[in-house]
Structure 1
Amino acid sequence: MDCDHFLCQECQKAHGRMTLMKSHKIYTLAQLRSGEIVYKSKLREEVPKCGKHPDQNLNVYCDTCEQVICLACTVLHHGNQKHSLIGLSEAFGKCKKKVEELVSKVSKSKTELNTTIEKTCTTRKKLDNVFANTKKKISEKADQEVAVIRQEEQKLLKETDRIYKERVTMFEAAQANNSKEVTQTEHKLEEVKQLMNQRARMTSSLF
């Protein structure tokens, strides 16, 4: 903890052999993970230095350039009226406010998006229901039309059968009548023939 370094087992042994480091407190990763020991990096306690002026701390924020600077920079590079300079606390407050506003906007957008998704899902369900009902109605209508057509078919078939039977009866009656007339005509012809034969025999006997 005193050196602010993580050590392997070999380095830990070497660490313990050095006179200046024998008093250093060493803890295991298990102790850190369990929360028994709280690790606090020394880097957090260090004040960052200016890149242009290494001996100066960064303690001023240029709102115009959106940059953290030192006091020397405020005079040499950001000293004119075009630059708006504020303290780090105020800059942090503004930054925090902007972040909160962005978070609020994102949350609002997320809520609106979720609402849109829910509406889309509801609309999709309605569309699916309309589609299913429409298909059902079409099928039912088709079945009804088919039933009507079948009924009409049976009606026409019965009517056709009736007409056919009537025509067959008429045809058979006409055929029977014609056959009867033919038979009668044949009988008459036979009678005439016999009569002619008798007269022929009588005439021949007279002469």
Structure 2
Amino acid sequence: MTTGHPSSLRHRRPARSRTLRVVLALGAVGIVAAIAVAVVPLLLPPGPRPLFQLPVACGETWQLGTYPGHDDYDVDLFPTKGEAWGRPVLASYAGKVTEAGINGSLGGRAPDDPDGPRGRGGGYWVKIDHGGRWETQYLHLLEPPLVRVGQRVAQGQQIGRVGSTGNSGAPHLHYEQRRGWEKAETYFDGVPSGITHDDTEYTVTRKSNNCPAG
């Protein structure tokens, strides 16, 4: 005896099949679009270098240096006057915070125990994306950063304080500028620092022009 159900199913199944194919196709298009949004910017050449400023207070003079084994392009900053501990660390240029926390381990060096045990890596640190595939990094901060991941910061905004967390021998700011996936020579106010390799010890002094607008 026939009931009519098989005939009904024959009519419904093609419609369901077509709907499923459409859904899968739209999903595939969405996945491809998402991958393109994430990957294509990484394949583009870096944009023009932002007008980075020294990551320290306006008008202060700091020593920029490197030493054998420090790694090419890495810069250590020390004030030429006064104590380094706790000095404000400022954003070199406007951008979006992509890292703000602990890199490696903190160790135990602090103003009241400057010879405490070293940690590993950069200690408290911040990384900022400035657009055009340009980034800056700020390491060995004294305490948790004053900014959070996802936050937009202005040039000259304080993001932390100078310390000696992580693998650090003395209070200072370890600083890097990155173009794409690679480190680049640091420029401040449009002037190259001259620190391009770590074959020999090298120091230079610069005055900060990281000043409030106007």
Asked if TM exceeds 0.5, the reply is: no
Query: TM-score normalised by the shorter chain: which range applies?
Result: under 0.3
Rg larger for = 1
TM-score (norm 1): 0.25
Structure (1/2) with the larger helix percentage: 1
Q: Which has the higher contact order (CA 8 A, sep 6+)?
A: 2
